Amino acid sequence: MVCNSPGALDWIDLLRQGSYSSTARKDFNQEKSALVFGMNRRLPVTLIGGFLGAGKTSFLHHLISEHRGGHLAVFVENPGVLNPDAKALSGLCGAMRRLHDTVREIPAGDETAQVEWITRQLQECAEAGRFERVLIEVSGLTNAARLGQCFGLVPGQSEQFTPWAELHQIVCMVDALDFYRTSVVSSGNGSQDALRSFQCTQIASATLLILNKCDLIGDVEREASTRLLRQINPYARIIETEYGEVPTEIWSQGGTPRKLELMLEHQQAKSESRIIEPQADQPAPELTSTLYRAYRPFHPERFWEWFNTDHPGLLRVKGLVWLATRNLLVGGVSRTRWQNACGVAGIWWAALPREEWPEEPEALAKMQETWREPYGDRRQELMLIGHTAQLSDVVRRLNACLLDDEEYARPVKEWTALPDPFPSWDLEEE
């Protein structure tokens, strides 16, 4: 498989795990379900949010792979200009022969502009009369419940989405390992308190809490985490899982209007629950994202050291890497505060014969956007999410991992002799 856009393992692996059997039956079921949806039908909407790196895209992957109903409209927000999750999910819909589904990238911008964009998309999807439901994934820097305020469920709130859609669920993905270490056992320190307080608000305003990656903690830790989740949000259903796998009958079940009202009324959870109290003299940290892009390969040994070093303030990394010793293969990177992974994510277009390039004009245009001679589409393209004050230092350290001028000037065949501590990459993994 050739993959030059998505890259990090947490979603590249997902594309390998789905079962592609019974596609003909699924096509028939989709078409049959689409027939019952008419014009002017209000579409059920599921909002999906949660912690950075908690597995929101894994959940969506499983949801799309196992869905046996009608066509889906999926809107995906990612901080910054790189939206690999949307690209990966679009590829998945094609692989699953769900050709009438639509995956759309929520454009970067302020909240007002994004709400306006979503309103237009909801209207378009409702008037098309062929979609069963809408799934909206927001980034880990956003509380999904902010969009819930546009359904007019609480008196005085906006009804902007109401003519075309109705809210069914607010899902919050919780990283079991991160939650246990930072909220169950940690006494808190400085800037981390403000981040935990925001996560507490995400939890308190959900109708469905998915405690994901439970395989990374023991039974005692899992039970303690579940108890704390229940303290923060006594109303939501809690599901424990490992790879974002949640039965359809759970996530697709609509919440009652009263339950949805309760969730929206509890967005200020930190002040109501008294479970997490930020220090009064500690300002809230500013979280931001930045796209790191460079058209020069990493020295494998230097990047290995960076990859396995703790970087205070860096919360999430995902994207593509180009190692000087591996000019054929795209590297996919995924890193959270507690886990990291790096492996093969495909083959660079520049390494393939021209006849194997995409034929669609749009795909070719996208490829050319990141094409630089003499090495084509090979590049570093990483989305970095973290504390604003620390990201400039993270970028500086990444720049130090690139080949220096003397190394870059060597013939490419000499690059392969550079020390490379990364495990071997095999396209069979892809």
The DSSP secondary structure of 81-133, one letter per residue, reads S--HHHHHHHHHHHHTT-TT-EEEEEPSS-HHHHHHHHHHHHHHHHHHT-EEE
Q: Which residues have a Cβ under 8 Å from the Cβ of 79 and sit 6 or more positions away? A: 108, 139, 141, 288, 289, 383, 385
Task: Using alpha carbons, list the distances in angstroms from residue 344 to 83, 243, 351, 373, 422.
Answer: 19, 20, 14, 23, 11
pLDDT of residue 406: 97
Q: Using CB atoms within 10 Å of the CB of residue 34, give its burial: 0 to 12 exposed, 13 to 18 middle, 19+ buried.
A: middle
Nearest-angstrom CA–CA distance, 23 and 184: 44
The predicted pLDDT at position 260 comes to 64
Q: Assign residue 33 a region (left: φ > 0; alpha: ψ between -120 and 50; beta: otherwise).
A: alpha
Check: CB of residue 89 under 8 Å from CB of residue 60.
Answer: yes
pLDDT of the chain, 430 residues: tens digit per residue: 333 333 333 433 333 333 333 344 444 444 444 444 444 578 999 999 988 888 888 888 888 877 777 888 999 887 544 445 545 544 444 444 455 678 888 887 788 899 999 999 999 999 988 899 899 998 887 888 888 888 877 767 788 898 999 998 899 999 998 888 888 776 555 556 667 778 888 898 888 999 999 999 999 999 999 999 999 988 889 999 988 888 877 777 766 555 666 666 655 444 333 333 333 333 445 778 888 999 999 999 999 999 999 888 888 898 889 999 999 999 988 888 878 888 888 889 999 998 888 777 877 888 888 899 999 999 999 989 888 888 899 999 999 999 999 999 999 999 999 999 999 987 654 4
